Amino acid sequence: MSIPVGIFLEIPCADVVEMASLAGWDFVVIDTEHGPIGSAQLPDLLRAARVPTIVRVAAVRNELIQSALDAGADGVLVPQIQSAAEAAGVVAASRFHPAGRRGLNGFVRAARYSLLPMEEYLRRPVRVVIQIETAGALAEVDAIAGLAGVDELFIGPYDLSQALGRPGDVMHADVLGAGQRVIHAAHAAGIAVSAFANSGEAADRWREMGVDRLYYSADVYLLAQAMRATRDGLR
């Protein structure tokens, strides 16, 4: 069964965002956690996107969530969540009243600089994705999945492997077992679950385990590998 597949973008260049969109990815993730991308760059990167675009914020901070959503992101991916209480704070920062306490400004890009009617702006859908990659989040995954306003749980296998004492071994049985626990929690709560993969083997495994969406690799990795493969072929 085919599922939506997206890619992380860490290069702060609108052309790369546009190329990823034109290449046929179902969605893209602008990564401000691991990529050198600041809030001031987000509007131009988002303008270049032709597919749904999520911003991975750099940390669990309300002002970073606010900046991403004001700039027009279709959703936020929030890393390093430690507890259900922290995840609830993310929801509150991402939703307008009565579902949350997101700051309301009708003049930002997301509101078309005041040209979007306020009622429509307030109804504009925002995808809230909580990253499960710490021991604390894993321990409270059922509570996190059950929070009103959480749309998706994302399995971050690299940091999860560290949390489980298997740093970098993202296909270890302990990591996959923890991932299966996240999948069960999400589906029991009736929400989507996704995972990151950086190989065809990993992508196939996560699909077999039941994820609903797949986040595949990153622009920098694919570019570097293509450069090396081309160089090796020419030699």
Kindly name the residue from 34, 172, 184, 187 that is annotated as catalytic: 34
> b/e for 83-111, b at 16 or more Cβ within 10 A?
ebebbbbbbbbbbbeeebebeeeeebebb
Nearest alpha carbon to residue 135 among 91, 172, 175, 192: 175
Q: What is the DSSP letter of 170?
A: T
- Read off the amino acid at residue 42: L
- Read off the amino acid at residue 30: I
**Cα→Cα distances 182→132, 133, 160, Å:** 8, 10, 11
User: What's the maximum distance between 2 C-alpha atoms anywhere in the chain?
Assistant: 62
Active site residue 187: no
177: its two tokens: 């077992």
Catalytic residues: 34
